[in-house]
Amino acid sequence: MMWRNKWKFRESYVICLGFILTGILLQLTIGPINNKGMAWPFNLIACLLFFFLAGIIIKIYKHSTIVHWLGSYYAALANISGILLITLIMGLIRQTPTFVHLSDLPTHLGLTQILSTWTFFLQMLWLCLILYTATLQRINNLTKRNIPFLFNHLGILIIVVGMLCGSADFQQVEITSKLGKAECIGIDRNDHLQKLPIAIKLNKFSIKFYPPKLMIVDRLSGQVQPKEKPQQLLIDSSFTQGKLCNWDITLKKYLPEAANITTRDSVKFVQSHSYGSTIAFYIEAINKKTNQQRTGWLSCGNFLFPSQTLQLNSTEDIVISQQEPRIYTSDVTLYTETGLIKNEKIEVNKPSHVNGWDIYQLGFDEQRGKWSDISIFRLVHDPWLPVVYTGIIFLAIGAFWGLIIIRRPSKAITFKEEKS
Amino acid sequence: MNWSYFTTFAVISSILWITGALIAWKKRNVQIAGIFTGLGLLVFFTFIIGLWISYKQPPMRTMGETRLWYSFFLSLVGLLTYIRWHYKWLLGFSTTMSIVFITINILKPEIHNRTLMPALQSPWFAPHVTVYMFAYALLGAATLVTIYLLWFNHSKDKDKKMLMCDNLVQFGVSFLTLGLLSGAVWAKGAWGHYWSWDPKETWAAITWFTYLFYIHYRLIHPKEYRFALYILLLAFILLQVCWWGINFLPSARGISVHSYG
């Protein structure tokens, strides 16, 4: 018990400061961390070695001041403060990708690329050591009350280990496939070209949009009217009539696929199913207050046709918004180096999985919209994911458990309060 | 159901909540105060469900819609905590906070967009936002207790109320953790990585660590209330930055994948 009151806040914060200063010195002398050298299997070896050695030291010196301090709330608070400081800097200073090399002071100190700094790494390492020590100490004195503690702390430890070790093996590549062509070269997170062990051939790209919205805008400012509470009308399949500001709007004609024909003095839309067709409406707008009546075509336009608006008065136009995508899907064929050929449908939130790679639907040619002949995919290889998910499950169990074992107030207290 | 009915539903709910709060304050009849507050919640929830049915998707996308849930959960947490702890001022505090958010929604709705971008169309969407809003409401309630303890409570015996604070924070942090984890699993399915240090994620981590600081600090210094309460206040300010403040931070503007509303 002689260890108990030895190291408290002062010592803990001095050590925290020591970690921060060491991190800054390392940053200034040897530069930011490059985790490439820590890729598989070195990350696993380093991880096992770290926990093996730390475990032995914690076991042998379990009564020493430092080991007891490591498992104490004082060390935890100082470490949380250190992490808070770093994450606050991250939250307040815009971060840049690691391939951006700037020579200004904040970048030199690592403030714009915090995740690559030694300070961040040392705080994370210290966090692992604290969680590991605290977990081992609780396992040695296992009681029912310690179980949620173990799930919570072990969960965080496993997640942090998975993140630290996994960062060297994590690969993320963006690839653009053109209709009918197989593509296997993409751009990685460091903005380098990377050849992948998978080729993607885009067979078909399909997209569905939300119905467009009708609104009145101020011609000069472009602001949707009325300024205080802007109004919009959703033109879905059931729409025939609606009200915008003081205007009664009636839909006279709806062409989901149209092309515009410009004559000498007017613009007209006709049904057209050919490449580049756009959406068009013929509407009637009546202002009962001023008895004004306007009729005309509206279209949001696309890469082939300009948008078409209807002039209501000297300051206001009625327009339709660009359609927002509701769902988009790529029909692809995946080819692997092992000769596997797989036909897949890839959608946002529904990635495909092949040979250790997850393939996500990322984007398309937004200018061409439904006529896009490309699809953009993100390929991710993250072999440490099962480790992180194990930690997530542990932490989730700990969080649920925490909800169950909330301390109840005694009845005596409640009644006393009631009477007071 | 659409937003034009909101004022009607909100006014009815607010009247019921205020009545409940007044009964709690004056007569201290827990059951009647609870019934009024519960009825208010029912009316408010009817509007939410109506909106959900007419949108054919959960109304959780815009800031206005999340404020709707926040008002609801804040009153719900207020009621549950009141039933359990019987503090006469609690319903008044939670009702005031709920009405503040309702007023913001009436004056500045930001609720027009009914479209849901593809990344948000996920089974994780509803549980993630609901759990988060519930956590925010619990931590909001903890903040109300904090303000009460710091500036309005003059009795020396603060142990019981600190216990309530601790319990609200423990509940809140548990939900916050579940929100973070469900968000991580969803992010993996939508974007390929469970944690990208996007500004919203960074500020969520900052908030989470600050509450963890409070929990750990309380364990070693259970009698030093003031510092602990100031930490709670700071944590709630950081939570606001995470919730809506990042839209105004130069470091986060335009780069967060969490900008929808």
Best interface-test mutation with A: which of B209, B240, B253 has the largest number of A CBs within 10 A? Answer: B209
Cβ of B109 and A229 within 8 Å? yes
- The pLDDT value given to residue A414: 36
Cβ count within 10 A of residue B98 = 28
**Number of structural domains chain B divides into:** 2
Residue A158: partners with Cβ closer than 8 Å, 6 or more residues away:
A387, A388, A390, A391, A394
The tokens describing B40, both together, are 């208010």
3 state SS of A267: strand
Q: How many angstroms separate the CA atoms of A298 and A320, rounded?
A: 7
**What are the phi and psi torsion angles at B235 (to 5°)?**
-60, -40
What is the extent of the structural domain holding B11? Answer: 1-116
Q: Are residues B200 and B243 in the same domain?
A: yes
pLDDT band at B113 (very low <50, low <70, confident <90, very high): low
**What are the phi and psi torsion angles at A142 (to 5°)?**
-70, 120
Please check whether residue B185 touches A, CB under 8 A: yes
Q: Are residues B3 and B97 in the same domain?
A: yes
Cβ count within 10 A of residue B68 = 25
Report percent pLDDT > 90 for chain B. 45
Residue of A nearest to B110 (CA): A229
Q: Average pLDDT for residues B181-190, to the nearest whole number?
A: 93
- The pLDDT value given to residue B197: 93
Nearest to B189 among A229, A351, A388 (CB): A351
Query: How many CA atoms does the CB half-sphere of A183 hold within 13 Å?
Result: 23
Query: How many CA atoms does the CB half-sphere of B171 hold within 13 Å?
Result: 22
Q: How many angstroms separate the CA atoms of A376 and A106, rounded?
A: 34
Q: Are residues B89 and B197 in the same domain?
A: no
pLDDT tens-digit profile, chain A (420 residues): 444 558 889 999 999 999 999 999 999 999 888 887 888 899 999 999 999 999 999 999 988 999 999 999 999 999 999 999 999 999 999 998 877 777 788 888 889 999 999 999 999 999 999 999 999 999 988 888 889 999 999 999 999 999 999 999 999 999 999 999 999 999 998 889 999 999 999 999 999 988 888 999 998 888 888 887 788 888 877 788 888 888 999 999 988 888 888 877 778 888 888 888 899 999 999 988 888 899 999 998 888 888 889 988 888 999 998 888 989 999 999 999 888 899 999 999 899 999 999 999 999 998 888 899 999 999 999 999 999 999 999 999 998 887 766 655 444 333 333 333
Q: How many angstroms separate the CA atoms of A364 and A369, rounded?
A: 8
Q: Are residues B129 and B112 in the same domain?
A: no
Best interface-test mutation with A: which of B31, B191, B234, B242 has the largest number of A CBs within 10 A? Answer: B191
Beta bridge partners, A171, equal A381
- Higher-scoring residue by pLDDT: A81, B89: A81
Q: Average pLDDT for residues B148-163, to the nearest whole number?
A: 83
CA-wise closest residue to A73 among A138, A161, A26: A138
- Residue-averaged pLDDT of chain B: 87
Answer with the one of B116, B136, B157 that is the final residue of a domain: B116
- The pLDDT value given to residue A416: 36
B191-250 residues touching A, CB cutoff 8 A: 191-195, 197, 199, 202-203, 205-206, 209-210, 212-213, 216-217, 219-220, 241, 246, 249-250
Q: Is the dihedral of CA B48, B54, B57, B59 positive or negative?
A: negative
Cβ(B91)–Cβ(B33) below 8 Å: yes
Cβ of A378 and B192 within 8 Å? yes
Q: Are residues B14 and B111 in the same domain?
A: yes
- The pLDDT value given to residue A233: 85
Range with top average pLDDT, A296-305, A308-317, B74-83, B211-220? B211-220
Q: Are residues B6 and B109 in the same domain?
A: yes
Q: Average pLDDT for residues B51-79, to the nearest whole number?
A: 85
pLDDT band at B39 (very low <50, low <70, confident <90, very high): very high
Q: Are residues B132 and B215 in the same domain?
A: yes
Cβ of B192 and A380 within 8 Å? yes
3 state SS of A151: helix
Nearest to A210 among B115, B184, B220 (CB): B115
- The pLDDT value given to residue A409: 47
Cβ of A170 and B195 within 8 Å? no
- The pLDDT value given to residue A300: 85
Q: Which helix (H) or strand (E) holds B215?
A: helix B199-220
Q: How many angstroms separate the CA atoms of B86 and B83, rounded?
A: 6
3 state SS of A249: strand
Q: Are residues B66 and B143 in the same domain?
A: no
pLDDT, tens only, A348-360 = 989 999 999 999 9
**What are the phi and psi torsion angles at A308 (to 5°)?**
-120, 125
- The pLDDT value given to residue B114: 58
- The pLDDT value given to residue B110: 58
Residue A60: partners with Cβ closer than 8 Å, 6 or more residues away:
none
Residue A144: partners with Cβ closer than 8 Å, 6 or more residues away:
none
Q: Are residues B20 and B64 in the same domain?
A: yes
Q: What is the reported pTM?
A: 0.84
pLDDT band at B115 (very low <50, low <70, confident <90, very high): low
Answer with the one of B116, B138, B171 that is the final residue of a domain: B116
Beta bridge partners, A308, equal A299
Cβ of B112 and A392 within 8 Å? no
Q: Are residues B111 and B8 in the same domain?
A: yes
Answer with the one of B100, B116, B132 that is the final residue of a domain: B116
CA-wise closest residue to A321 among A407, A216, A247: A216
In this prediction the ipTM stands at 0.87
Range with top average pLDDT, A1-15, B5-19, B74-88? B5-19
Q: Are residues B261 and B137 in the same domain?
A: yes
Please check whether residue B160 touches A, CB under 8 A: yes
pLDDT, tens only, A399-412 = 888 776 665 544 43
The tokens describing A37, both together, are 């050298």
Q: Are residues B155 and B53 in the same domain?
A: no
The tokens describing A385, both together, are 């994911």
Cβ count within 10 A of residue A89 = 21
Q: Which residues of A touch B166 (CB under 8 A)?
A: 407
- The pLDDT value given to residue A197: 94
Contacts by A404-413, CB closer than 8 A, 24 or more apart: A405/A145, A405/A148, A406/B167, A406/B170, A406/B171, A407/B163, A407/B166, A407/B167, A409/B84, A409/B85, A409/B160, A409/B163, A409/B164, A413/B160
- The pLDDT value given to residue A203: 96
B30-49 residues touching A, CB cutoff 8 A: none
